[in-house]
A = this chain, B = another copy of it.
Amino acid sequence: MMGEFNLINKYFVDRQAQRKDVILAAGDDCALVEMPENVSIAISTDTLVAGTHFLADAPAAWVAHKALASNLSDLAAMGATPAWVSLALTMPEPDEAWLAPFCSAFFDLADYFGVQLIGGDTTKGPLSITLTVQGFVPKEQALRRSGARVGDWVYVTGELGDSQAGLDVVLDPNKSTKPFAQELLYRHFHATPRVLVGQAMLPYASAAIDISDGLISDIQHILTASHVGVSLDVDALPLSKELIQFVDDKPTAQQYALTSGEEYELCFTVPEEHKGAVDTATAHCGVQVTCIGQIRPQDHFELHASGEPLDWSVSGYDHFKES
């Protein structure tokens, strides 16, 4: 069994190239970083707890990916460029068989986005991971939830609903024999944070959020902050063929797409005059971008399919839901 300091040195120190703006990473009381001019810093914190956000026996590499991806997704939703991350890791014992794949996957994803680990804490206790990521966004240009206007178009990235299907497999092993169960399980843990789309749409979008609690729940935050309503075309929701086969029924797949949490896709709004520009700017980001509806006046909330209104009652995820 190694002590805390050896553990940190072995698994966390000198694992990455040094960013020019990182003056000091691990190894002192604080990390020290510097910033470019004319940017704001975007900061996001997320915690993943074993038993709440993942099962304790989930593969460590998958947990690492999910933890960092979900946090980078918050930066993406503001159009920010990721820069630094702090990692607070709590574990019952310094389990090297868990740490090695965890760190390997963590640094793979961090390196892909040029994010440097600048510090953190390792403590003893029930397994959980808290990350704080930081990135840059040009001053006064960060995408907020409050900028949507009536008539703006509503977009989402990628395909929706797969994460919920993967969670079904996690929670009910009987579902692991359904079509594409393993693919969907993998996707639940392996979202790609939409950093490139976030940066590409930044000059054109009016509001954005990432889908962590479910489209219906998250878009509500845009509606509330922007004092608007929305009309969503359920037929336009981007669905994977794997999801449709897994649930075996298109309306069910559409309901998954509306409510599935931990998707880490972006939902954003675009004024009519920028619609063409957004389609062009996001064309080279390697991910599908789909228009699924339009912003309406406050208190309008409509779901429709084939031109007909739907009366589905659906809701998203709340960690401490009213009981």
Contacts and interface: CB of A to CB of B under 8 A. Distances in A.
Interface of A: 1-5, 7, 23-24, 27-35, 37, 40-53, 74-75, 77-78, 80, 84, 86-88, 90, 93-94, 118-126, 128, 130, 132, 135, 137, 139, 142, 144-146, 208-210, 225, 318-323
A284 to B, nearest CB: 23
A7 B125 CA distance: 25
Chain multiplicity (copies): 2
A285 to B, nearest CB: 18
B132 A86 contact: yes
16 contacts: A1-B320, A3-B318, A23-B40, A24-B144, A27-B225, A28-B78, A30-B74, A32-B40, A32-B78, A37-B37, A41-B41, A43-B119, A50-B125, A53-B123, A125-B126, A132-B132
9 closest cross-chain pairs (CB), A and B: A49-B125, A30-B42, A29-B77, A126-B126, A130-B130, A29-B74, A132-B132, A88-B130, A45-B86
- Which has the most chain B C-beta neighbours within 10 Å: A2, A53, A84, A123? A123
A90 B128 contact: yes
Given A49-B90, A49-B126, A78-B28, A318 B121 contact: no
Contacts of A118: 43
B78 A125 contact: no
A93 B323 CA distance: 11
Given A78-B28, A144-B28, A94 B320 contact: yes
A35 B38 CA distance: 9
